[in-house]
Structure 1
């Protein structure tokens, strides 16, 4: 049987022809483009999920204004701290630590500081941080997968030499390109120099083929995203469980993938620092998931307005609804300044119109008789009228107390 004309499969993943393009004097880098695409996906997908849980449309974009800058700063800080020899050794240019466009973002720093920014945004817009984290977790890990394509164009984060059909071609690049490539390809200074843009070198100086660890992590991230969606739909996860499942799933893969990499990194006890970070975070995530097993899984989104509460300025506020509360009940209603002070208690206030008798207030806790779950869910509350000849009739100016029909 003749194989003439049959296209042969490549013996390795080809190296990208270039990783930067120029629009006039402005460089457009593939690494930055994929990072931006990942952020857009995470915000869009997280917004859809939070809206489906009761959140206000567009609030994820508002919170991203806080989270994204914090995440980028945190990711760069983590990279520079853990790989400080790339920037602060003799002969290195320390100002390159600010060259984020050349690659180098540590996911742990990005998640940690990004979470701080997201928390501040959630506080600003009255959103439950746990509900927000659950909503954006699948999008975040999918964004990480997209970001790994930037590593491909930068020819970085590869593993040990390999002859596998999916091994990655690695070529010599400029000294300012991928840290550590010169050492992998031969003695420093032995390779010829090329233009500053990322352009693939001629085949004669091919370094070899290596494990495409960026591709392994890309596929693992997509699998974790699918796991989160399935588990959330199957078990109705809440109260931060989706987020911690993301942490556990991602770190389980990152740990073994990290051990395949051979790029420059700090080690401790013979292992890369990121391996210990993965193990520690995996254990924390598992402990949190186990501790929350069997507890109520609140999926509520608190979307309270940021303006001052009606009535806090001393005037009577009109009834208005806010976002869904943690208990699934309707949002808060306004009241007088006295009621605004009462609302600071941990009791539920349900106001109904009582005509000429004034507003009736039903409270749970010490303020009055407890409302049953049926009354809270249906909103049917009746008022026990107080006859004029009752000896326990309220004095003038007092409010009648609403009672639950189920009592």
Structure 2
């Protein structure tokens, strides 16, 4: 934080503000190291680590998360870029735009909706090849995805992008003049929407972990809860942003996306309420089985609530993650 006074909307002044990084790219010889890319990579690594802990605790084999990530991550990156370009085409195909910039992922611009949709396709392909039920896998990775999204928002901070409207709050974000919208060139501080979403995602991850343990969610319900919580936070954060976006009836496109996807996730949870969590039955490479697993086969089978609770308790005792995930 800095104690410098910063002008804001309405002629007010912030007693303190969050400074933006002076640069987001470092030259390592001929190779540019971009903070945005580092944030995305760090988020992916954390998501894989957390998901591995949860997947093994639920009865999966060690290493399967990484095997599926090999498919899901490239699909997700491509899907995220496609969504961004299709919903914000002006910088690439509008007047004065550069179509080749559509491929410049390292400069920022990944739409989470496309990333999740295409990443889900990649995960589905991998799960089918490995004989893994996709809903059970999705439940295991849900909190890790939220953590990855939180870390990824740091890239927006380094790029000084996707901030909100003018603000004189103590935690307002300082934006350099060259990154400000034309209508706000004389405004120095803005809502740090990157920080709002970062904190919201971490809180949502904690809620998903708690609800998953408390209600023993299964059949994709933990993943649906992740989607519903993310859409709720993204809805109000989206309304604060000032970056250019396509609109329908004067409302940003992503607001409509949040409403539709979020309501669909809630409907999914309601339809599948009360179903006991699957018990995964996957042998380790050495032929041993974990407590709560059947002796043979690789399918997820429905069991009674009592059996599910016993299996979960055994999994928690043997494979409780150090970070509480």
Same fold (TM over 0.5): yes
**Normalised by the shorter chain, which TM-score bucket?**
0.7 to 0.9
Task: Give the secondary-structure state (helix, strand or coil) at the position aligned to 2:188.
Answer: strand
**1:266 alignment counterpart:** 246
Residue 328 of structure 1: how far off its partner (Å)? 5.0
Distance (whole Å) between structure 1 residues aligned to residue 281 and residue 153 of structure 2: 32
User: Higher relative CO (CA 8 A, sep ≥ 6), structure 1 or 2?
Assistant: 2
Instruction: Pick closer, same or farther for the CA change 1:227–1:279 going to 2, 3 Å.
Output: same
Unpaired runs of 5+ residues, structure 1, are 1-6, 187-205, 306-319, 334-346, 348-373, 375-407
Q: Counterparts of 2:278 and 2:35 in 1: how far apart (Å)? A: 40
Counterpart mapping for 1:158-237 below 5 A: 158-173=163-178, 181=180, 183-186=182-185, 207-237=187-217
Look up the match of 1:153: 158
State the Cα distance separating 1:172 from its structure 2 match.
2.8
Q: Which runs of 5+ in 2 are unaligned?
A: 5-14, 302-306, 308-325
Distance 1:18 1:231 in 2: 40
The equivalent residue for 1:86 is 91
Give how far 1:330 is off. 2.3
Q: What SS does the aligned partner of 1:245 have?
A: helix
Q: Distance in 2 between matches of 1:235 and 1:70?
A: 31
Residue in structure 1 matching 2:231, options 232, 236, 251: 251
- Does 2:294 match 1:329? yes
Q: Which of 1 and 2 has greater Rg?
A: 1
Shift of 1:12: 1.1
Q: 8 Å contact 1:126–1:303 — kept in the other structure? A: no
Q: Structure 1, residues 207-240: CA drift from partner, whole Å, max 9, x if none? A: 4111111111111000100001111111111111
TM-score by length of 1: 0.67
Q: Under a length normalisation based on structure 2, what TM-score does the superposition of the two structures give?
A: 0.83
Aligned counterpart, 1:239:
219
Alpha-carbon contact 1:238-1:299 (below 8 Å) kept? no
SS, match of residue 280 in structure 2:
coil
Per-residue Cα deviation, 1:37-65 (whole angstroms, up to 9, x for no partner):
00000111101110111111011001100
Deviations 1:241-260 (A, max 9, x none): 11000001110111111011
Q: In the superposition, relative to structure 1, how do residues 89 and 49 fare at CA in structure 2: closer, same or farther (>3 Å)?
A: same
